[in-house]
Structure 1
Amino acid sequence: MIKRLLDKFNIHSKEDFWKFVWQFVKFGLVGVSNTLISLAVYYAVVLLLGVEHYILANTLGFVISVINAYIWNSKFVFQKKDRKHGKSFVKVFVSYGSTFLLGTGFLFVLVHYWNVSEMIAPIINLLLTIPLNFLLNKFWAFK
């Protein structure tokens, strides 16, 4: 079973394994920048336009952070070589959007049904959404 999983991830040596790990670390670094950008946009819009626009602020933060993710993931993490960006750009939005929706649902379940603290639940949520988003980007969006 582990051999099949390693084959799916194209890991056939220690060098392949460490390349995969390093790629995941770089993906995480891009994720940190996405989070900071999303929060900066969110707070800027809320402060400039008022609290009643928090949904707009959240949506703008999401869109701008996914654009950032696409740029950095295509150049730094997955090193996209071809110049056809349209299809992979849409796939990145779908990947991030689906994990955003899945994560939101999981967050709700953690807090409302499993009684996990609102402060801890987002951290647990990241344990699901980050690896899933990495795999979607690696094997679908940037394949």
Structure 2
Amino acid sequence: MKDFIKQFFDIKFWKFILVGILNTVVGNGLMFIFYNFTPIKDLDSVFSSGGYWVSSALGYIIGSIVSYILNKHFTFQNKEKGIKPILKFSLNIAVCYFLAYGLAKPFTLWILSGQSKTIQSNIAMLVGMCLFVAFNYIGQRFFAFKEKEETK
């Protein structure tokens, strides 16, 4: 178990955190700007949580492009070429996104049931962001950019 923890929190983890800080500034900054300062929030009145989903999706699409480039080349130094790493990365992002934000929204609505929809959605986006980071590291490290094991 000690070896697993040591391997899990190696230099790749810290590079991932550094890239994640940049992704947070870019993707999540845009997510909150889209929700709070554009007409996207008005989608909440068209269909339940519409602005929440559109804002978070736009932020994550843009942040994911930055993440792919930096994590592929800087964090995991993945040499794989072609469409396969892009598809694996995209699948990982999609699964992590829907899992994180799908769990965050109902949980936050339940906890903050007496608050305004704007407060609930903003807090849900923060909770989703935290869940996404954890799920995404595991997915990128052990699926999208998994190192090929050397045969002995």
TM-score norm. by structure 2 comes to 0.64
CA RMSD of aligned residues (A): 3.5
**By how many angstroms is 1:18 displaced?**
6.1
CA-to-aligned-CA distance 1:76-130 (integer Å, 9 cap, x gap): 1100123x14111121122122211111122123212244985766555555332
Distance 1:85 1:122 in 2: 33
In the alignment of these two chains, the number of paired residues is: 129
Following superposition, the deviation at residue 21 of structure 1 comes to: 2.8
The 1-side partners of 2:136 and 2:60 are apart by 14
* Counterpart selection for 2:79 from 61, 65, 81: 81
Q: Quote how far apart the aligned CAs of 1:27 are.
A: 0.8
What are structure 2's unaligned runs of at least 5 residues?
Answer: 42-50, 114-118, 147-152
- Structure 2: how far apart are the matches of 1:52 and 1:39? 17
TM-score, scaled relative to structure 1 = 0.67
In the alignment, is the contact (CA less than 8 A) between 2:101 and 2:125 conserved in 1? Answer: no
Inter-partner Cα distance in structure 2 for 1:141 and 1:79: 12
Deviations 1:22-56 (A, max 9, x none): 21121111112112112454577789xx7224656
Structure 1 unaligned segments of length 5 or more: list them: 12-16
The residue type equivalent to 1:141 in the other structure is: A
Q: What is the one-letter code of the residue matched to 2:11?
A: W
